[in-house]
Structure 1
């Protein structure tokens, strides 16, 4: 019962707008910690209990899936944006004319997907989307 409540009520609120997030390693660690906190609360394990994350996941019969789900939603959204080919396409790919600002450049959505999928895979996905091979809306 608690698993369904977690899936129905909490995860959608947590992942609202996740398609536009840039997930750094620090944010990924925080998301995984949040997911583990949810499992511990669901199983009523106190924070003072000396249980490893593996034991908690085995007890819940679950795997860590929050970051993977977010990445899948981002990849789906990328396909949607690339097929559309308008302003969203320019913003997502970061192809603007003009000068770049000073300092370290911000991480883009494409950078995050490149680290997750691998650099060659992003270009393959972009080529497939342009040809209309990828499905979805």
Structure 2
């Protein structure tokens, strides 16, 4: 899926849909039985931001806040 999510020729909306349809369900499988603690919530949010940064080709060393990355992707936190 990395080739699809990082492809510049595919629109960001299509890449976000692919992320939502193929990756998020695998990530959240079995979450009904989880006890969501603050630690698990932070890990899920970090994973979501990691996917968005990969899609937008923003290196992890760039000094961009998570809110700025979310604005660039026109997305709200969903996990």
TM-score (norm 2): 0.79
Deviations 1:43-92 (A, max 9, x none): 111111111001100000001111xxxxxxxxxxxxxxxxxxxxxxxxxx
Structure 1: tracts of 5 or more residues without a match: 67-137
Cα RMSD after superposing both structures: 0.8
Deviations 1:24-54 (A, max 9, x none): 1111111111111111111111111111001
From 2, 16, 20, the equivalent of 2:33 is 20
Whole-Å Cα distance in 1 between the matches of residues 63 and 17 of structure 2? 26
The aligned residue for residue 33 of structure 1 is: 46
Considering Cα pairs closer than 8 Å and 6+ residues apart, tell me whether 1 or 2 has the greater RCO: 2
Structure 2: tracts of 5 or more residues without a match: 1-13
Whole-Å Cα distance in 2 between the matches of residues 28 and 18 of structure 1? 11
TM-score (norm 1): 0.47
Whole-Å Cα distance in 2 between the matches of residues 44 and 2 of structure 1? 12
**Alignment length (residue pairs):** 66
Q: Which has the larger radius of gyration?
A: 1
The aligned residue for residue 6 of structure 2 is: none
